[in-house]
Amino acid sequence: MRSRREITGFQEKEIPKDLLDQIVDSAYYAPSGNNLPSREFIIIEKREKIDHLEKTTPFMKWMSTAQAAVVVTGRPDISKYWLQDASIATAFIWLAATDLQLCVGFGAVYHTEDEEESRKRETYVREALNIPPDRRIVAILGLGFPAEKPKAKKMLNRNNIVHYELFHTDNE
């Protein structure tokens, strides 16, 4: 858990199928609200598709070195908790990859603050991967072995983030 980092550079080393399957299983078995199947995943291993997905937003240049990708989608027609369910599954993918010594780059596709931008990004991915219109495309996770050892992450003081019994501030 503590070694998890977002990585923006990957080795040119194929991810073994058994590791990719373990990562995918973590998403498949992730909990969802009312145990409803409100999230689905598309696994991408072909270089040309990964390169295409890199252009989803200008902030995903790191996809150029990713060795695989997982596109996380949600189903609003199945559950009002589709976004939470997809987010939980995304975290499970990230933690499973970290446990297997792989790293993850996160590319947000769904954009809650800008519906027009969200539709633009989703349409780009939807058309490339033949995703039905009733699915919302939440994120693209790039996977691979890290090109460099991740630096230690500087965290905020735990006492500013974790509260017991009541919310408190530094002034209390």
| pLDDT (0 to 100) of residue 148 | 83
Q: Is the pLDDT of residue 22 over 70?
A: yes
| pLDDT (0 to 100) of residue 77 | 98
| Per CATH, domain 17-161 is 3.10.20.30 | no
Name the pLDDT band for 3 (thresholds 50, 70, 90).
low
**Range from 16-25, 51-60, 128-137, 142-151 carrying the lowest mean pLDDT:** 142-151
User: Where are the chain's structural domains?
Assistant: 17-161
Does the pTM exceed 0.85? yes
Provide the 8-state DSSP code for 59: T
Name the pLDDT band for 120 (thresholds 50, 70, 90).
very high
Q: Is the pLDDT of residue 6 over 70?
A: no
| pLDDT (0 to 100) of residue 109 | 97
Smallest Cα–Cα separation from 22: which of 98, 84, 131?
98
